[in-house]
Amino acid sequence: MSDRVLIFYGSYRSDRQGIRLAQWLVRAFAERGASAELIDAKAVDLPMLDRMYKEYPRGEAPPALEALAEKIRTADAFVFVTGEYNWGVQPGLKNLTDHFLEEWYWRPAAIVSYSAGRLAGARAGLAWHGILSEMGMVVVSSTIAVGSIGHVFDAAGEPAGDGGGALTRAFPRFADDLGWWTQAARAQRERLDPPY
């Protein structure tokens, strides 16, 4: 069975550097046999949170919200690709994530952070760990942190230079960790209903 992995990306900036990282992750997971899909917060374009998905009467949620809820409910695992804004998380990705709650439950999540600087968005990655755990996901211990994001990919979107090499070396262990938890969570859900 192919793992269905949703890869979330949250930058709304006009010159988005991390989108190449998110797109590469989709390809890298697909090469491992996963069914990977990019969920770009800017493309989904949800309004600032007023009502969570669960707060709409059944069948009355906006179509984009309904479609995304179904994708989240049917996914096996999630990857959150996050830049770092002032030592914190990207507001676009946080807004998208907060529209849902129970839809996230009982699935593993992994974090890939990036920044233009040498700390590679590590502080945002740390912040996301607590957020995703609170939202009912099991956050795997493996992470990827990409610094100098503007120099990690070539014009064709392929990893380049030392940063690109580090990314391609880190990915297999990261994907193996997420894959192990994905299989474990799926087997447990098939064996036993979640406790709530």
Of the pLDDT bands very low, low, confident and very high (cuts 50, 70, 90), residue 96 is very high
Give the pLDDT score at 118: 86
pTM attached to this predicted model: 0.96
Per-residue pLDDT tens over the stretch 4-49 = 999 999 999 989 999 999 999 999 999 999 999 999 999 999 999 9
Query: Is pLDDT at 1 greater than 70 in this prediction?
Result: no
As a whole number of angstroms, the distance between CA 39 and CA 30 comes to 15
Structural domains of the chain sorted by starting position, each given as residue range(s) with its CATH number in brackets = 4-191 (3.40.50.360)
As a whole number of angstroms, the distance between CA 129 and CA 178 comes to 14
